[in-house]
Amino acid sequence: MMKVNSEKCIGCGQCVKDCFARDIEITEGKANIRNVTCFKCGHCIAVCPTNAISTDEYNMDDVVEYNKEQFQVDSDNLLNFIKFRRTIRQFKDKDVEIEKISKIIEAGRFTQTGSNMQDVSYVVVKEQMKEVKELTFESLKNIGEHMLANLTPETMMYKGYAEMWVRMYSAYKEDSTKNDNLFFNAPALIVVTAKSEVNGALASSNMELMTNALGLGTFFSGFFVRAAKGNKAIEELLGLKEGNEIVTCMVIGYPDVKYKRTTPRKEADISWK
């Protein structure tokens, strides 16, 4: 539960003002958290000027005092960092350190979630890459063959994908290294799962930024997500939690390509009201 240290509390009311759940009141000059409607967002911990609030549900060692030099990011640099981001499909034959993977996951862990659900989970695949590859290529091949055998006017637009998946499987079986046109011989995957697709997607976006900041590269494999959907073998290998769905699959490694500049994009479609 959320706790108030009455000796530190000065009754300023900042926590009351910032509590969306309206679960805090000032009683006899001190903050009182009822822990009734509280959903543990932690705003009271962050806003308290005397650091009087804590919780026994999370690790308070996660809390870091604000420091402008360490916390502030120049807006122009941030925008350029985002613009310079590239999807990477060329990877060096080099392992990715556990410490860097852990930091990527930290970026996901501290991403906001609806109603503070914190429902996002992560599956790191390194040792079992070969097994995951085999299952994924086979699943896509099976999906492709089924689609080709049951084409309708509505599914005709996906015929190209179906043919591609069948070809990819055959090529992979011929040479699993040269023809890995799905994971591109990357050394690691982070599979992001969640009960809420939005929460998983938000976490994945911040994780991608951290991946780039660490000198790594990644791409989001939609083909893997399609292959894993409803595939019991893949779900069991990943140990998918009940109620969670695979939202993204981040294929991660050290880039074997150097980009020199950003690329153009369409103009933003904006409606000012």
Q: Contact, 217 vs 184, CB < 8 A?
A: no
Q: What pLDDT is recorded for position 180?
A: 98
Encoding tokens for residue 220?
A: 């989001």
pTM of the model: 0.94
Structural domains in the chain, CATH included, are: 2-62 (3.30.70.20), 81-273 (3.40.109.10)
Nearest to 112 by CA among 13, 211, 203, 21: 203
Q: What pLDDT is recorded for position 222?
A: 97
Query: What is the total residue count of the chain?
Result: 273
pLDDT mean for each 10 residues of the chain (273 residues): 97 98 97 97 98 97 96 97 97 98 98 96 98 98 96 93 98 97 98 98 98 98 97 96 95 98 97 98
Span 134-188, pLDDT tens digits: 999 999 999 999 999 999 998 899 999 999 999 999 999 999 999 999 999 999 9
Q: What does the H/E/C string look like for the chain?
A: CEEECCCCCCCCCHHHHHCCCCCEEEECCEEEECCCCCCCCCHHHHHCCCCCEEECCCCHHHCCCCCHHHHCCCHHHHHHHHHHCCCCCCECCCCCCHHHHHHHHHHHHCCCCHHHCCCCEEEEECCCHHHHHHHHHHHHHHHHHHHHHCCCCCCHHHHHHHHHHHHHHHHHHHCCCCCCCCCCCCCEEEEEEECCHHHHHHHHHHHHHHHHHCCCEEEECHHHHHHHCCCHHHHHHHCCCCCCEEEEEEEEECECCCCCCCCCCCCCCCCCC
Q: Which amino acid is at 164?
A: M
